Amino acid sequence: MDTSAVANVEMARAWDGPDGDDWTEGADRYEAAGQRIWARFERDVHVEIADDVLDVGCGTGASTRSTARRASEGTVLGVDLSSRMLEHARARAHNDGLTNVTFLQADAQVEAFEPASRDLVISSYGAMFFADPTAAFSNIGRALRPNGRLAMLTWRRFEENEWVTMIRRIAAHGRELPNPPAGMPGPFGLADRDDTAAMLVAAGYRGVEIVPRDEPLFLGADADAASEFVGAMGVVTGLTADLDDVTRDEVASQLRAMVDAHVGPDGVTMGAASWLITATR
């Protein structure tokens, strides 16, 4: 990526590096994890058959492909910082026979999108990482046609998300770690409802609605699959990297007990707390 066209340099290093590698290698699992949340999003957010859509932070492209099927007479442009995730996304779209999808490696905060070229901007947990959200959403908004719409999923506060609080606490193994704050670039960057609403108004949007969505995160069809997935998560591998083998085994045992406690008739799920954010430009 041309770093001169990137405002979020640290995020670009992470996502066009180890974080992007991790997500690409686990793409099927990560995409399956959010399947129930995404199904709810599709019920909530209408897509016209001829809509032209921009997917911000599209990652490995599950949201892009799904939306392309709904906008079958329109187009969908997926944008992300990660070259490897986009390579995966392109291959999947090609294999699925989708001809109305394109992907672009770019920083959506500063990318010169074609003005007034999109009817809808979507994001599935890909828009919380901007260093300057007001500038980013102002720039993204310029790609929307008059009365164009914004619809995105973001995480609510760290403390409200059972899946990450439990996994992180176990992986920390007694170490005191500060909770990731709301409002900072990262997974919880748009977690503060009032601040996010004010930011979008300042960025030129109207009719902002931010409503809670509580749909479970799917970790696997059974305990073995879920344990393998959880053990490979970046939060786990990062926090356990410096532990000795005995302690690491203790963490693995506790994570397995957590997984076993969450086995249900539909597989292994844990509580997840999201915002559905919609607005008009």
pLDDT in tens, 182-241: 999 999 999 999 999 999 999 999 999 999 999 999 999 999 999 999 999 999 999 999
Report CA torsion sign: 111, 136, 130, 48.
Answer: negative
Q: Would you kindly state where each structural domain of the chain is located, as residue ranges?
A: 3-161+180-218+272-280
pLDDT given at position 168: 97
- The overall average pLDDT reported for the chain is 96
pLDDT in tens, 124-138: 999 999 999 999 999
DSSP state of 78: E
pLDDT given at position 125: 97
CA distance 135 to 198: 13
Residue 62 has pLDDT above 60, yes or no: yes
CATH for the 3-161+180-218+272-280 domain, from 3.40.50.150, 3.30.1490.20, 3.30.1370.60, 1.10.15.40:
3.40.50.150
What three-state secondary structure class fits 193? helix
Give 87's pLDDT tier (boundaries 50, 70, 90). Answer: very high
Tokens 């990062």, residue? 238
For residues 125-163, b (16+ Cβ closer than 10 Å) or e, as one string? bbbbbbbebbebbbbbbbbbeeebbbbbbbbbbbebbbb
Residue 185: both structure tokens together: 């670039």
The CA radius of gyration of the chain, in Å to the nearest whole number, is 19
Give 1's pLDDT tier (boundaries 50, 70, 90). Answer: low
Residue 52 burial (10 A CB sphere; 0-12, 13-18, 19+): buried
- Residue ranges of E strands in the chain: 52-56, 75-80, 101-105, 118-124, 144-155, 206-214, 217-220, 263-264, 267-270, 273-280
Please name the helix (run of DSSP H) or strand (run of DSSP E) that holds residue 166, with its range, or none: helix 162-172
Residue type at 275? W
CA distance 233 to 218: 14
Share of the chain above pLDDT 90, in %: 92
